[in-house]
Structure 1
């Protein structure tokens, strides 16, 4: 019997995501599991206050549209079938938890490249996903 049935690869769309995708595909193949991809777009807010010359909502929409195109491109290049390609907007850890619950995932594969403090062990995003997750987490070391 397979250990994992539904796996989520949480990716940031950078080249470093390749290591996460490779490992997620390996585990999915070993378990004949469904594999879904998720990318979280942080909500754009005023970093410094004041008025901005452009509408933030337009920028947010452009970022989300770009992410949807990129996640589809990435999925199309993989040698493993992707069940769902999801782009969520909000806090990375919270959104990954939400997607994992919605999909009834039993494993989240995420990259980790923290280099100091508590982040040395996991990285801030991976650490945020670890706390509060209702399933296993596989942290793939990046940039090593």
Structure 2
């Protein structure tokens, strides 16, 4: 079994986040690895394809702020410094891949589901992360 040096846990801030975070923390501790957290906020205009002629900027800012607060709360509970918390915006799979490359992470941990509704119809984030990753990916079965 490889010894990981830098682990990136991609969390969706849902109820299933604790399962992913618990597994990531355990693996980082056993390997002596540096653990990073990432959450990606999908722009509302991506979700709706620009079909709705509305300005979503204030709602998007509110989503960003709430996500940042939640991300830091999870990090604090897991004893992860804020400089290892990454809040990004865009398509989750591509943003996770880019961050993984820039951090030189050797393992991505992601929940195997947790997305519901419209996001489920658009495809699985875990599947997207798995198929484009240049390193190992651990999908934690949640829910």
- Alignment TM class, shorter chain as reference: 0.7 to 0.9
Kindly indicate which of the two structures has a greater share of residues assigned to helix.
2
How many matched pairs?
131
**C-alpha displacement at 1:66, in angstroms?**
1.1
Distance 1:49 1:139 in 2: 33
Going from structure 1 to structure 2, the CA distance change for 1:50 and 1:23 (only over 3 Å counts) comes to: closer
Question: Secondary structure in 1 aligned to 2:132?
Answer: coil
Do residues 81 (structure 1) and 80 (structure 2) align?
yes
The answer for the alignment partner of 2:26 in structure 1 is: 26
The answer for the alignment partner of 1:118 in structure 2 is: none
The answer for the alignment partner of 1:56 in structure 2 is: 56
Root mean square deviation, CA, Å: 1.9
CA deviations 1:52-73 (Å, max 9, x no partner) are 3xx3112111111111111001
- Moved >6 Å (runs of 4+): none
Do residues 68 (structure 1) and 60 (structure 2) align?
no
**C-alpha displacement at 1:50, in angstroms?**
4.1
TM-score normalized by structure 1? Answer: 0.84
TM-score normalized by structure 2? Answer: 0.84
Question: Secondary structure in 1 aligned to 2:38?
Answer: strand
Structure 2 residues not aligned, in runs of 5+:
115-122
